[in-house]
Amino acid sequence: MSSALIYLPMGLGSGATVLMFAGAGGGSMGYGASGLMGVSTIGMMLMMLGRGAHQRKKELRSDRRDYLRYLTQVRRQVRRAAHQQRAAVEWNHPQPSQLWSVAMGPRLWERRAGHDDFAEVRIGVGVQRSALRLVPPQTPPVEDLEPLCASALRRFMRAYQTVTDVPTVVHLPGFAAVEVVGEEAGVVGLSRAMLAQLTALHAPEELRIAILADSSRMADWTWAKWLPHTGNPWRRDAAGAVRLFAEDYPGLVDVLGERLLARPSFTAGVSASPNEPFLVIVCDGVPLPDDSPLVMGGLRNAVLLDVDGANALDGSQLLRLSVQTEQVTVQQAGQPDQVCRVDSLSGIRAEALSRLLAPYRTGGVAVDASEPLAAEFDLAGLLGIGDLSGYDVHALWRSPAWSDLRVPIGIGPEGDIVSLDLRESAQGGNGPHGVLIGATGSGKSELLRTLVVALAVTHSSETLNFVLTDFKGGATFLGMEKLPHTSAMITNLADELVLVDRMQDALQGEMIRRQKLLRQAGVSSRREYEAARAGGAPLESMPTLLIVVDEFSELLSSKPDFMELFVTIGRLGRSLGVHLLLASQRLGEGRIHQLESHLSYRIALRTFSASESRSVIGSGAAHELPSSPGHGYIKLGTSDLGRFKAGYVSGPCVTAAAPTAPAEARREIATFDIVPFTSADRGAPAVTPPPVDVPASSAPSLMAVLIERLRDQGPQAREVWLPPLSESPTLSQILPGIGGEAGRGMTARGWPALGRLRVPVGVVDRPFDQMRDLLVADLSSAAGHVGIVGAPHSGKSSLARTLLIALALTHTPVEVQFYCLDFGGGTLAGLAELPHVGSNANRLDPDRVRRTVAELETLLERREQAFADHGIESMSDWRKARQDGSVDDPYGDVFLVVDGVATVRQDFEDLEPKLSELASRGLSYGIHLVLTAVRWSEVRPRLRDLIGTRFELRLGDPHESELRSRDAATVPAQPGRGLTVDALHFLAAVPRADAAALVVDAATALKCLVEDIADAWPGPPAPPVRLLPDLLPAATLPPPEGNLRLALGWDEERLEPVWHDFAKSPHLLIFGDTETGKTNLVRLIAEAVLRRYQRSEARMVLVDPRVTLYQCVPAEYRVGYAADIDAVTKLVNDTVITMRSRLPGPEVTPEQLRRQDWWSGPRIFFLVDDYDLVSGGMSGPLEPLVELLAKGADIGLHLVVARSSSGGSRAMMDRALRRIWELACPGLLFSCPREEGKFLGEAIPRRLPPGRAQLVTRRGTQLLQTAHTPSTELETTP
């Protein structure tokens, strides 16, 4: 029929076509044909549409059948997986009512502390996410989905993403407290079910249960008294082990004791152990104190099971179980609630289970012989040592069982002992070098301790020594420094990286030392060396050296250069008897590839990643090890991996009972009573029980007991590592025999170089040579000048004091003298009372500072002359000449000490060239410089090159070091620490001679020492520095002479008169501030004129604006007097007229010029005081005299001008003053502000006391004290 319908429109179309051709002329036949054509076309369209819809429905039904059939197949797979999942979980967590079968089978106490499901308990059954992951296919938009299939998929996903009736478990170690609330019957039943699971699946050595219940509710828990988990292994009563039952909190503390209170606060993820078993505390109806650690956050490896919710517990680590009817709701902070069908266990079944478990106890180290790797065992068990405190140490050292560097480290999967032989492969060993990798908590540090202690117990310190290094902290090898085997114990390197370089030097030095011993013995290896020694050759012992480096990866991160030493040890250690064990938590990329060929054994405990495991042992197996510590793999050479469990030495030592004498055998009838077995304490036992173990909290560790037993049992190992320089020595420790001696005072009688300028000032660290030396300053040769440079508070001044005190204790005040410039804050003031100190000047006493330098300059010139006069060639000859009396000199070797040389440049710039001159010339004549500075650049290059003895302390910027900046950066921030010129670290001694243990501050100790030295010296002290007087009377100076050659005052340098000769320098300039001595000097000149000349020979013209000189010059000596500018101008003009008449004409012969007799009349002294009051600008009232000044000495004109220093630079623009300076006439500069700047030659203005002035000439500047004349009328010469 359908086929007919398909062909019918086609037939109608064909007929319509025939009719159209037949009736081509038109008419009704044409219209009919057209109609038939249209009808056929529409029919064909409708037929095609109908057929397409039918086909689509057919295909849709087929697709639906296929997809639903596919879902049916997947449903069967998912149901099978759900069944398997449910069965697997139920096997791990059986129903409470079936626990009796577990207790009677091999699964009893199967869970160990290292298992992931340790302390997991079932609380009921509920919905759990399916272990089979269902991933829906990628689907198009919702509007394009087939509704029936999409609905089937959604129902399928909802139905099978979870599995019903699967046991719901709680991981108790993850919580500090579990609160069970709700209906009382359900709460107690659930709690019983939880405890039953714990007791059936966990051994009592690793899990304990304590019951804290009110007396009214104790009946619900008496069934637990039969459990071995509730017995107290540390206390016994008449019925056996005391039950861990209490009715109040004090009672709980009493039965648990320190094992409860001594635990740290709660930390999730810490594994339990026999030393710290997991503790479940059931609390029913007993309020806990607010300060109880159970309430305040919990305890480690402990959980509080609060079955009535009466206590306010911390919610951050709290799990709440709410029981209602047959359901329990699990509530945890930050997690959605979970509801399941609650488990319950009746009291009858619980007591039956507890009675079933009552006879069982664990024995040996393993619960199941099939699981030896789950055992806990110590090193004593591996070595077979019974009595740790009394075993024969030397017998075990000689025992062949464990010798030749072979020791046990643990047990294997079959229970066999796993040992490590550190000998090289040629001797049948696994060594000599190896690597140990273990993540945090894997037991790496414990394994290192076990290995080191095992080697010490089985090998004598004469044959084996240790170098123990811990880059971080120091807990790994804590206490092992007491072993006689320990050559070095180096810890906390991360905090002091400078110690890493020191350790590198020490180990390199040990390698070189061993090579020298082999070379001297004529052998090539330690084996041959020891064979020759055993044959009677007189050789010192060369024990095997085991170098253990913990956290070596971080060491190489901080100091990559250390890898070169590791490679050297790996290459040469085999023949030198040096073994290397590298340990770390991580193995950084590229950290071990250079050592690959030298590592013979590899140990991998649990690692952070599989890649790290593969890098070490070639397999990722170490990443899959249990989380409990001690599990690992060992790979020896090219052999297969070996699994092992390491022993431990940090656990408490179980002290064996002391042997007692056997009692006399006798027969008697034993009587006994049958008493009820209850949870309460039954009182003291009738028979004394065997001695119990010392509690773990107070018992010493096994390692501590073994170390103490080995202490002093063998020769002490040679020190490879001396303690770092930490405590400064005192002078009494480095200078032997300090005491009084006739003729020398207090001296170091034991020092071999007394009086030779060689003194110790500290100690030098020589880690390469494994020794310390004295830091000696040898000032007897070309290195007689000393430079001490260091940052602030680095100990510069203290080292300078130490040097001076050491010189004072080895030389008398006749042999050495000190002159100190104390610019370092007064630190040298404490030495002022030394008889060796001639002067101590600070920055506030500039006169003494300059006089000190001047005194030494004078001494230098005097000695140069004396050397020439006596034909002395060297300072040593001079010292001998002084001793035999052929030379009379109060000075010996003189030390100029400048503490803070930068102050010289800042405040005493004129002294810098003088110091350089003393340094360059003085050493040959016994003058030494001791300089301190913050940086070397503060010392001028010329002076710095002359310093032969250099002490470089810690610098502020290591790049400023005269040594390598890398070495300078390693100097620690400790006063007195520094570097020698050989880049060796030193520590300066402190300037005190008392015992270091005395509690006396450094200042007091120094004062006492100085007083002792001063009191003990019977002779004269060092010559003091002579100073310029503050007031120099004119009468003390020599009288004027010649053509007015007068003494102006005393020179600071030589303390000799300073003369001014008006015949050679006819004019004089005087500048100064007010009240500094200008007028006094003018008055002094006037007085000299009056004393030297008669009225007919000299007259004076006075310009005196302040009228201070009028009464000083008699009228008969005054040619003129002016007090204002007009009078000054008149006087100048009159003087010019008079002086011009004296100018020589062409008729004057050269002989007359020489005799100056072509003119007659008195000399004119034109004295001007306070010139600044009568002048201004560039042209002053004295300008007319300018043309005559050059001929002043020839025509008898002498101009003396005194004015204020204010505006000195501007004043020197005055033509008269400038002309005087151009004529090389001197000038005197009294005190004036530094701000004025240089205006008179190179003289630097500075503050000076009244009467003190700088005499400025073309040759330089010298300081002098001008003579003082009273301001009274002077006597005249008739």
Task: With cut-offs at 50, 70 and 90, classify the pLDDT of residue 110.
Answer: confident
439 known member of a binding site: yes
> Was 34 annotated as part of a binding site?
no
> What pairing do the DSSP bridges indicate for beta strands 486-491 and 578-584?
unpaired
Q: Find tokens 């828990």 and name the residue.
A: 221
The pLDDT value recorded for residue 1128 is 94
Q: Is pLDDT above 70 for 16? A: no
Helix or strand run (H / E) with residue 1098: strand 1098-1103
1042: left (phi > 0), else alpha (psi -120 to 50), else beta?
left
Question: Is 267 one of the annotated binding-site residues?
Answer: no
- Give ∠ CA 887-890-896 in degrees, rounded to 5: 120
**What confidence score (pLDDT) does residue 25 get?**
54
Q: Which pLDDT does position 10 carry in this prediction?
A: 61
Q: Which is nearest to 1185 in space by CA: 1120, 1128, 1257?
A: 1128
pLDDT value, residue 943: 93
Is 41 annotated as belonging to a binding site?
no
Using CA of residue 656, residue 657, residue 661, residue 663, what is the dihedral sign?
negative
Whether the CB-CB separation of 550 and 471 falls below 8 Å is answered with yes
Give the tens place of pLDDT for each residue, 179-207. 999 999 999 999 999 999 999 999 898 89
Domains observed in the chain = 96-125+164-358 (3.40.50), 379-646 (3.40.50.300), 731-1016 (3.40.50.300), 1034-1142+1159-1266 (3.40.50.300)
Question: How does residue 28 score in pLDDT terms, banded at 50, 70 and 90?
Answer: low
Does the annotation list 445 as a binding residue?
yes
Question: Which position has the higher pLDDT, 654 or 186?
Answer: 186
Q: 512-518: long-range contacts at Cβ-Cβ below 8 A with a sequence spacing of 24 or more?
A: 512/768, 513/770, 514/542, 514/576, 514/577, 514/578, 515/572, 515/576, 517/542, 518/575, 518/576
Lowest mean pLDDT among 98-112, 499-513, 747-761, 835-849: 98-112
Determine whether the annotation assigns residue 57 to a binding site.
Answer: no
Structure tokens at 366: 């393993």
Q: How far is CA 653 from CA 175, 403, 441, 615, 619, in A?
A: 31, 25, 22, 37, 37
Give the pLDDT mean for 112-140.
Answer: 83
Note whether 745 and 517 are within 8 A (CB).
no
pLDDT, position 665 = 39
pLDDT attached to residue 431: 86
Instruction: Quote the pLDDT of residue 399.
Output: 82
Kindly report the number of other CB atoms within 10 A of residue 1110's CB atom: 14
- The model's pLDDT over 1036-1079, given as tens digits with 9 standing for 90+, comes to 999 998 878 999 999 988 889 999 999 999 999 999 999 999 99
Q: Is 16 annotated as a binding residue?
A: no
Please tell me whether 597 is known to bind a ligand.
no
Sequence-separated (6 or more) residues with CB below 8 Å from residue 695: 234, 257, 258, 259
How large is the average pLDDT for residues 977-984? 92
CA 883, chain centre distance (Å)? 54
Asked if omega into 432 is within 30° of 0 (cis), the reply is: yes
**In the predicted structure, residue 41 carries a pLDDT above the cut 90:** no
Give the Cα separation of 478 and 388 in Å (integer).
Answer: 20
Q: Note the pLDDT of residue 692.
A: 44
Q: Is residue 694's pLDDT more than 70?
A: no
Mean pLDDT rounded to a whole number for the chain: 86
- What is the structure's pLDDT at 668? 45
Is 1145 labeled as ligand-binding? no
Q: What digits encode the pLDDT tens for the residues 341-374?
A: 999 999 999 999 999 998 887 643 333 444 677 6
Q: Which residues pair with 408 in a beta bridge?
A: 419
Query: What percent of the chain has pLDDT above 70?
Result: 88
810 marked as part of a ligand binding site: no
Burial 781-806 (b: 16+ CB within 10 A, else e): eebbbbbbbbbeebbbbbbbbbbbbb
Q: Is 704 exposed, middle or buried (0-12, 13-18, 19+ CB in 10 A)?
A: middle
Positions of E strands within 70-132: 120-129
442 marked as binding residue: yes
Percentage of the chain beyond pLDDT 90 is 54
Establish whether 914 is an annotated binding residue. no
CA distance 1090 to 1110: 14
User: What DSSP string runs through 698-759?
Assistant: TSPBHHHHHHHHHTTSSPPPPPSSPPPS-SPPBHHHHS--EEEETTTEEEETT-TTTTTTEE
- The pLDDT confidence band at residue 689, using thresholds 50, 70 and 90, is very low
Higher-confidence residue of 714 and 145: namely 714
Which residues, including other chains, have CB under 8 Å from residue 492's CB and lie 6 or more apart? 470, 472, 473, 474, 499
Q: Which two tokens stand for residue 1097?
A: 């020979």
Q: What is the pLDDT of residues 986-1040, one digit of tens each?
A: 999 999 887 544 446 788 889 999 999 999 999 999 999 988 888 999 999 999 9
Interatomic CA distance for residues 759 and 848, integer angstroms: 29
Instruction: For residue 130, say whether it is annotated as part of any ligand binding site.
Output: no
CB 1136 within 8 A of CB 1166: no
Q: Is 1077 annotated as a binding residue?
A: yes
DSSP letter at 655 equals P
Active site members? 551
Could you write out the three-class secondary structure of 180-213? Answer: EEECHHHHHHHHHHHHHHHHHHECCCCEEEEEEE
The reported pLDDT for the residue numbered 1044 is 86
Please indicate, yes or no, whether the overall pTM of this predicted structure exceeds 0.75. Answer: no
Mean pLDDT of 296-302: 87
Q: Is 1076 annotated as a binding residue?
A: yes
Provide CB contacts within 8 A for 1016, sequence distance 6+.
740, 745, 746
Our CA angle for 1002, 1004, 1005, nearest 5°, is 65
In the predicted structure, residue 1255 carries a pLDDT above the cut 90:
yes
**Whole-number Å distance between alpha carbons of 174 and 267:** 8
pLDDT band at 859 (very low <50, low <70, confident <90, very high): very high
pLDDT tens column, 228-275: 999 887 777 766 678 899 999 888 888 887 666 678 888 887 888 777
Question: Measured between alpha carbons, how far is residue 854 from residues 830, 842, 909 in Å?
Answer: 24, 16, 14
Q: Which residues contact 319 (CB under 8 A, 6 or more apart)?
A: 170, 175, 177, 178, 179, 330, 331, 332
Is 50 exceeded by the pLDDT of residue 1157?
yes
Q: How distant is the alpha carbon of residue 686 from its chain centre?
A: 61
In the predicted model, what is the mean pLDDT of residues 469-497?
89
Q: How confident is the model at residue 44 (pLDDT cuts 50, 70, 90)?
A: low
1072 is in an annotated binding site: yes
pLDDT at residue 930 above 60?
yes
Q: What pLDDT band is residue 696 in, cutting at 50, 70 and 90?
A: very low
Give the residue from 852, 859, 809, 855 showing the smallest Cα distance to 834. 809
Nearest-angstrom CA–CA distance, 278 and 280: 7
Q: Which residue has the higher pLDDT, 389 or 533?
A: 533
Please report the pLDDT score of residue 370 as a whole number.
47
